Structure 1
Amino acid sequence: MGFLGKMRDRLTPARPTTRALGNAAEDRALAHLQSAGLQLLERNYRTPGRGGGEIDLVLRERDGTLVFAEVRSRASRDWGGAGASIGAVKQRRLVFAARHYLLRWPSPPPCRFDAVLVDGDQIEWLRAAFDAE
């Protein structure tokens, strides 16, 4: 790379990676849920092996309900926003991961699947966004 290319790279602000943007959205979502009284049990729970699933946040409500929260982020609400990206395949993977997570519990408590949508500067918390069927 020549001198001008190096100078251009130094002057161009680095764009955050997709992972960094996702982590920032999860941080915001977690802070939002904790301010509502939920307690974090686990972050980014993954099932072993390929083809499994991941749960962004596993939390507990004050009443003992386990909450499996999916965090989705989009820069804006254009094209359906963050909520439009939680389709049937994603839901099945979340349910699979939740069932795997619950294997460690001798007697699983009531559970639900929530979604936290981060669209630009707005956060929307959807309780019971979908069912495990």
Structure 2
Amino acid sequence: MATGFSSGKKPEQQNKREHGALYERRAESYLQAQGLQPVTRNYQCKLGEIDLIMRQGQTLVFVEVRFRNSEQFGGAAMSVTHTKQRKIRRAALCYLQMKGLNEAHQSCRFDLVAIDGNQINWIANAF
């Protein structure tokens, strides 16, 4: 009798999460090559999730990573809706509060790394 462990997720969900993690690591490596320093990955709170949190000088950078195979239907950058932006902002506020940082004194920005096929497009101050 086999006794395997299950993550509780459907195989397609697990593959999608692994696929996303691959592109997040690619984005993180790309940003590090541009001089940003990693702080944390996949920060989650009840209000949302942030793919990457990086630091550039004194600025805390909250990064959304998006991948699309092609730009045929608007591409990766166009897939970040206003609703998603709002969730990321709220999650960033949670992070700042958890770390005891005051958003009025901590310089922050929201970047997007849009990966379309093999092309990486880093948009600083995306929203």
Deviations 1:42-74 (A, max 9, x none): 100001x3xx2000000000x210000000001
How many equivalent residue pairs?
A: 112
Change (3 A) 1:69 1:106: closer
Distance in 1 between residues matched to 2:15 and 2:44, nearest whole Å = 21
**1:26 CA drift (Å):** 0.4
Instruction: Give 1:73's match in structure 2, choosing from 59, 62, 67.
Output: 67
Say what the alpha-carbon RMSD is for the aligned residues: 1.5
Q: Confirm whether residue 124 of structure 1 aligns to residue 121 of structure 2.
A: yes
Most deviating of 98-107 and 34-43: 98-107
The answer for unaligned runs of 5 or more in structure 1 is 1-14
Give the aligned residue type for 2:24: E
Which 4+ stretches in 1 moved above 2 angstroms? 105-108
SS in structure 1 opposite 2:24?
Answer: helix
Deviations 1:77-120 (A, max 9, x none): 11000011100100000000000001123444200000000111
The answer for unaligned runs of 5 or more in structure 2 is 1-11
Give the aligned residue type for 2:62: F
Distance in 1 between residues matched to 2:101 and 2:81, nearest whole Å = 31
1:34-53 mapped onto 2 (5 Å cutoff): 34-47=32-45, 49=46, 52-53=47-48
Change (3 A) 1:106 1:55: closer
Distance in 2 between residues matched to 1:106 and 1:84, nearest whole Å = 31
Normalising by structure 1, what TM-score?
Answer: 0.79
- Greater C-alpha radius of gyration: 1
Distance in 2 between residues matched to 1:106 and 1:129, nearest whole Å = 22
Instruction: Give 1:59's match in structure 2, choosing from 51, 54, 62.
Output: 54
Normalising by structure 2, what TM-score?
Answer: 0.83
